[in-house]
Structure 1
Amino acid sequence: MNRRKAPLLLAFVLLLAGSALLVFKTRPGPGASPETAPASTPATPRSQGFTAQGPWAPVDGEPGREAGLERPEKDLVSYLRSRYGARIREPHTQMRMLEELMRHFQKLNPTGWEADLLAALQQAFPELYEELAQRLRQRLDYEKWVKEHHAELKDKPAAERRAAMWEERHRLFGKEVAEKIWVAELRNLAVADALTAIDALPGASVGERMAEYKKGLEKAYGENAQAYVQTHQQELMNRFLDLGSVQKDLGTLPPAQRAQELRTIRQEMGLDEEALRRWEELDRVRDTRWEVGSQYMSEREALAQQYSGPELEARLTELRARYFSDEAQTVAEEEQSGFFRFTRPRQWGRN
């Protein structure tokens, strides 16, 4: 048997015999319950190719997502052709496949994974083998560069760090290929820039800012904008609601008008009627909680002005039990640590 293929065949046996199924992290779909939504989503780009977890971020900007390599339907070659074959000539698709294969073979054979990976490429896509092997070398050279310059990059301002990384990407991959590989990052940056501009619009209403936001998404994602919004409703809605200008405007509105503005924002993000009703119910629960919290803090402050020491603690224990019941102990522990949940800023539509 060809010794070059032996590790690959061994990988097939191990893969089919004992690999654990990978647990997928699902996104909330259209109409998903707001109770299961993320607590927060940053308004900054998710991936700059330089993270606290490591110097290399996956090209799709979604660290931690596997494509299912650990459970191929027949064998590795069939899986690669089925999953990537239709778009294998696209640099972005090539890089996603290479990263998946790297994770897979590095687990199976930490010292000889590269030869196994190349053997898999040779069998799956022989007509593109040289191009894919070159892409792998470029990928490894870039990772090496980022690791070597990690400290230097970390100390740079974000804009300078991005510029340095893009300069190296252009050098290693070529400008056209690099921009195709990191297309998700470029789009995400475009949306972030649009949000910055929207936040700075003088005198714009919430509706006008939302209209500009949708234009920014359409510009960044083109004909795929609607599909992208549909699969990223929660994240995109949160990024808009996190704008200081939007929060300021919502905070100045009467409750009924604010509720209508929140409903319109969610409609613009494609939520269906059932989801809108669930969000409105959650808003009512949150409003009630904040009202209770405001009353509690007022009484707490009054007690703190009258009492101290054990007497104050005893009265606060009674107060927390009256307002929070089963949560009273949790609130007490938070306050002992210096955290007062109802002194945080109210983020309309977010908490």
Structure 2
Amino acid sequence: MLGAGALILGLLVVKSLVPTEQVRSGQSSLEPVSPRALPSTAAPGMPAPPRPGVKAASSPATASPDGEMEALRASLLERYGARLSEPSVQLRMLEQLMRYFQMRSPDGWRELMEDFLWKAFPGKYEVLMALLRNRLDYEKWMEANASYLRGLDEKQRRAALRDARGRLFGPETARQLWASELRNQAVADTFQALERMQGASLSEKLSTYKQRLDAIYGDAAPAHLARHPQETMNRFLGLPSIQQELTGMAPAERARSLRTVRKEMGLTEEALRRWDTLDRTRDARWEAGTRYMEERAELARTLSGEDLEARLQEVRFRYFGAEADVIAQEEASGLFRFTRPRHWGRN
């Protein structure tokens, strides 16, 4: 049998309920089922483990965990111990333990897990057990309300989930557990709001974007930007309205605008210079591609077959040099890269 430390680290990654979840197929329901109206998740007929402070000769707290369970505890403390007071970290640990004990005993995993939690984390046993019960109740609620949730629009669905989570976990704990999902939703809402800013310039939208990020991430905004500058920049530049405005700019103005966006996203001067060089390389490639496609179309009007291909080989080499063979292979497969849209700052 694999050691517990290796097994707990090697468990298959299964999508958890937090921070996001997919609505499962479940019983048909036109109205939501109240979270607390569901059957209790307590194992029927199983005696409750002794609580902290209650001593008995047969108490599990006095039993020494075997080597495998001790290795499991050590592995969990190494991974989660520094932040085990945070509900989101506690829940990640519990979900990993659920998978671990379900692999060991599909029918008796709950009792094994509760016994382990009491022995391994007696000081946090009550908190962890309450969170586990709420997590299982939430899973049942999601299954019972799958049809109901599918019938809601996005705004209604968010409200229904927020209400259920608040009732099951408490508003503050729910906010912490789903903080990442809520931030992602707020960022998505920001992009929709930017697209609705009719008549606003790129610089105005960029300013609004940064203000929204500051509001969403708070004091952690600079750290988030430092960790994800490329993603943060690309998502803004990828907005259709931003691409449309960049397309309408003169080359020099467009270069200045791209540099401003990147600078506002926290890129260093050295990184900005690399981007400037890459932009010039891309511009030259697209200019060559445009001229090539025009010349190609002209040749196709007067030549065909082998004669056309022979001339195209010459033209490709003139425009693309060593890359000419790659262009030819793409065209043979039906791909004409220079007929695709130009995405400024991306290709």
**Per-residue deviation at 1:282?**
1.4
In 2 relative to 1, CA 17–146 (structure 1 residues): closer, same or farther, beyond 3 Å?
closer
**Per-residue deviation at 1:276?**
1.4
Q: Within the alignment, does 1:169 sit opposite 2:165 as a pair?
A: yes
Q: Which range is displaced more, 339-348 or 94-103?
A: 94-103
1:318-329 equivalence runs, <5 A: 318-329=314-325
Task: Check the 8 A contact 1:98/1:136 in 2, yes or no.
Answer: yes
In 2 relative to 1, CA 176–277 (structure 1 residues): closer, same or farther, beyond 3 Å?
same
Alignment partners' CA distance in 2, 1:101 and 1:338: 51
In 2 relative to 1, CA 338–226 (structure 1 residues): closer, same or farther, beyond 3 Å?
same
Identify the match of residue 272 of structure 1 among 268, 273, 276.
268
**Per-residue deviation at 1:294?**
0.9
**What is the total number of aligned residue pairs between the two structures?**
295
Alignment partners' CA distance in 2, 1:159 and 1:332: 49
**Per-residue deviation at 1:143?**
4.3
Gaps of 5+ in 1: 1-9, 23-46, 53-73
**Per-residue deviation at 1:237?**
0.8
In 2 relative to 1, CA 105–325 (structure 1 residues): closer, same or farther, beyond 3 Å?
farther
Residue 50 of structure 1 corresponds to 22
Task: Check the 8 A contact 2:246/2:344 in 1, yes or no.
Answer: yes
In 2 relative to 1, CA 265–100 (structure 1 residues): closer, same or farther, beyond 3 Å?
farther
Between the aligned residues of both structures, percent identity stands at: 50
Q: Within the alignment, does 1:138 sit opposite 2:134 as a pair?
A: yes
C-alpha RMSD over aligned residues: 3.5
Identify the match of residue 234 of structure 2 among 238, 248, 253.
238
In 2 relative to 1, CA 21–174 (structure 1 residues): closer, same or farther, beyond 3 Å?
closer
In 2 relative to 1, CA 291–51 (structure 1 residues): closer, same or farther, beyond 3 Å?
farther
In 2 relative to 1, CA 134–330 (structure 1 residues): closer, same or farther, beyond 3 Å?
farther
Residue 16 of structure 2 corresponds to none
Gaps of 5+ in 2: 13-18, 25-69
Residue 60 of structure 1 corresponds to none
Q: Within the alignment, does 1:15 sit opposite 2:11 as a pair?
A: no
Letter in 2 for 1:298: E
Alignment partners' CA distance in 2, 1:110 and 1:333: 55
Identify the match of residue 282 of structure 1 among 268, 278, 285.
278
Residue 93 of structure 1 corresponds to 89
In 2 relative to 1, CA 84–339 (structure 1 residues): closer, same or farther, beyond 3 Å?
same
Letter in 2 for 1:247: Q
Q: Which range is displaced more, 158-167 or 184-193?
A: 158-167
**Per-residue deviation at 1:319?**
3.2
**Per-residue deviation at 1:137?**
3.8
Task: Check the 8 A contact 1:241/1:348 in 2, yes or no.
Answer: yes
Residue 202 of structure 1 corresponds to 198
Greater RCO structure (CA 8 Å; 6+ sep): 1
Alignment partners' CA distance in 2, 1:21 and 1:328: 47
Alignment partners' CA distance in 2, 1:325 and 1:117: 65
Identify the match of residue 344 of structure 1 among 330, 340, 343.
340
Alignment partners' CA distance in 2, 1:105 and 1:342: 55
The structure having more radius of gyration, on CA atoms, is: 2
1:56-75 equivalence runs, <5 A: 75=71
Q: Which range is displaced more, 314-323 or 217-226?
A: 314-323
Alignment partners' CA distance in 2, 1:350 and 1:260: 16
Identify the match of residue 311 of structure 2 among 299, 306, 315.
315
Task: Check the 8 A contact 1:81/1:124 in 2, yes or no.
Answer: no
Residue 27 of structure 1 corresponds to none
